[in-house]
């Protein structure tokens, strides 16, 4: 299942939106926090995890989804939220802790929640897998449209929740796709030092579902495999496990010195950055011109700039609002 040129352009533009968004967020996050780093200072409080380099995993899958479909994501969620159609103004305001944010500024960047497009994420490793299975089961029991996609890092495949979720999804034959973003590092632990199998998609056979490994951080290949898996889920044929080889071009979190990376690794990853790779592919295969590319990039930058302006100009929540939406 190969994408049309229009779908490729959609994927490319959303990759650009995600990358530019995170480049701006990175700069803003450091405001007030240097020269002595203090993550409580500045316009963006708390921790920050960037997804630069992982954009293909979001667009290749979300290109097939509708607002009725469910996505549960991780603590590194911006690229997936943008590809799923989360309101960028409200998401940015949420990251800034503003009253106009998706959750009134309560959740921050690791707890983005947008019921309008059925998107949620969590800072807890593997936390989204169970809810994704439950959401998919609810769709099946109610006879409603919609599949669920549960994103995770490769480290989450060693959590008990991973095995529990895959087992029940297969037993109940629910429409869920499990997606492992394999960036080779679980925080600072190399995959080879923590995981018994080199390819987590092999674990699918233990739960009676198809498993796929997609190398090369290629959005076109991801689109192809995801399209078949999602179509299979929509037909009522059950879950699929997909592992995607991707790359993390930043640290695990803002402030990560990345001393665990082997010398030269980051340079080699940047040499195959998926965004210029996609741009060159569009130019070679479809004749994308420089002016067309600049127009796409301009739209992406404006959308991000407008969202940041909205967030900066939004009001902070009143202190007493901390006591609202709290249940005993």
Convert the chain into a string of H (helix), E (strand) and C (coil).
CCCCHHHHHHHHHHHHHHHHHHHHHHHHHCCCCCCCCCCCCCCCCCCCCCCCCCHHHHHHHHCCCCCCCEEEECCCCHHHHHHHCCCHHHHHHHHCCCCCCCCCCCCCCCCCEECCCCEEECCCCCCCHHHHHHHHHHHHHHCCCCCEEEEEEHHHHHCHHHHHHHHHHHHHCCCEEEEEEECCEECCEEHHHCCCCCCHHHHHHHHCCCEEEECCCCHHHHHHHHHHHHHHHHCCCCCEEEEEECCCCCCCCCCCCCCCCCCCHHHHHHCCCHHHHHHHHHHHHHCCCHHHHHHHHHHHHHHHHHHHHHHHHCCCCCHHHHHCCCCC
**Domain 5-258+276-314 class?**
alpha beta
Give me the pLDDT at residue 170, please: 98
pLDDT tens digits in sequence order for the chain, 328 residues long: 899 999 999 999 999 999 999 999 999 999 988 777 777 789 998 899 999 999 999 999 999 999 999 999 999 999 999 999 999 999 999 999 999 999 999 999 999 999 999 999 999 999 999 999 999 999 999 999 999 999 999 999 999 999 999 999 999 999 999 999 999 999 999 999 999 999 999 999 999 999 999 999 999 999 999 999 999 999 999 999 999 999 999 999 998 999 999 999 999 999 999 999 999 999 999 999 999 999 999 999 999 999 999 999 999 999 999 888 888 7
Residue position matching structure tokens 């071009």? 249
Q: Are 241 and 214 in contact (CB under 8 A)?
A: no
Give me the pLDDT at residue 322, please: 87
Give me the pLDDT at residue 292, please: 98
CB-count burial class (<10 Å; 0-12, 13-18, 19+) for 124? middle
What is the b/e burial string over 290-315, where b = at least 16 CB atoms within 10 angstroms of the residue's CB?
eeeeeebbeebbebbeebbebbeebe
Domain coordinates in residue numbering, the chain: 5-258+276-314
From 147, 166, 235, 165, select the one nearest 204 (Cα to Cα). 166
φ and ψ at residue 245, rounded to 5 degrees: -75, 115
First-to-last alpha carbon distance for the chain, in angstroms, is: 49
From 181, 164, 177, 179, select the one nearest 234 (Cα to Cα). 177
């Amino acid at each position: 299942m190969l994408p049309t040129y229009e779908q490729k352009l959609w994927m490319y533009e959303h990759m650009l939106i995600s990358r530019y968004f995170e480049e701006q967020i990175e700069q803003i996050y450091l405001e007030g926090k240097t020269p002595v780093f203090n993550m409580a200072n500045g316009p963006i409080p708390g921790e920050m995890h960037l997804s630069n380099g992982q954009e293909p995993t979001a667009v290749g899958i979300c290109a097939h989804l509708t607002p009725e479909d469910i996505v549960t994501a991780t603590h590194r969620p911006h690229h997936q939220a943008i590809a799923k159609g989360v309101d960028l103004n409200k998401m940015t305001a949420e990251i800034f802790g503003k009253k106009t944010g998706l959750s009134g500024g309560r959740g921050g960047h690791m707890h983005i929640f947008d019921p309008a497009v059925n998107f949620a994420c969590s800072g807890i490793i593997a936390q989204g897998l169970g809810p994704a299975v439950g959401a998919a089961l609810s769709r099946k029991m109610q006879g409603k449209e919609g599949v669920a996609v549960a994103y995770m890092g490769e480290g989450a495949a060693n959590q008990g929740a991973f095995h529990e979720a895959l087992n029940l999804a297969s037993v109940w034959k629910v429409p869920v796709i499990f997606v492992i973003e394999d960036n080779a590092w679980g925080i600072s632990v190399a995959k080879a030092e923590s995981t018994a199998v080199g390819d987590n998609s092999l674990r699918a056979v233990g739960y009676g579902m198809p498993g796929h490994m997609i190398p090369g951080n290629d959005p076109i290949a991801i689109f192809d495999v995801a399209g078949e898996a999602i179509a299979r889920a929509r037909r009522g044929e059950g879950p699929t496990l997909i592992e995607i080889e991707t790359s993390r071009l930043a640290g695990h979190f803002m402030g990560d010195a990345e001393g665990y990376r082997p010398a030269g690794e980051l340079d080699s990853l940047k040499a195959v950055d998926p965004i210029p790779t996609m741009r060159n592919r569009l130019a070679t295969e479809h004749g994308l011109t420089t002016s067309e590319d600049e127009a796409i990039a301009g739209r992406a930058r404006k959308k991000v700039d407008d969202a940041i302006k909205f967030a900066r100009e939004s009001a902070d929540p009143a202190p007493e609002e901390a006591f609202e939406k709290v249940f005993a």
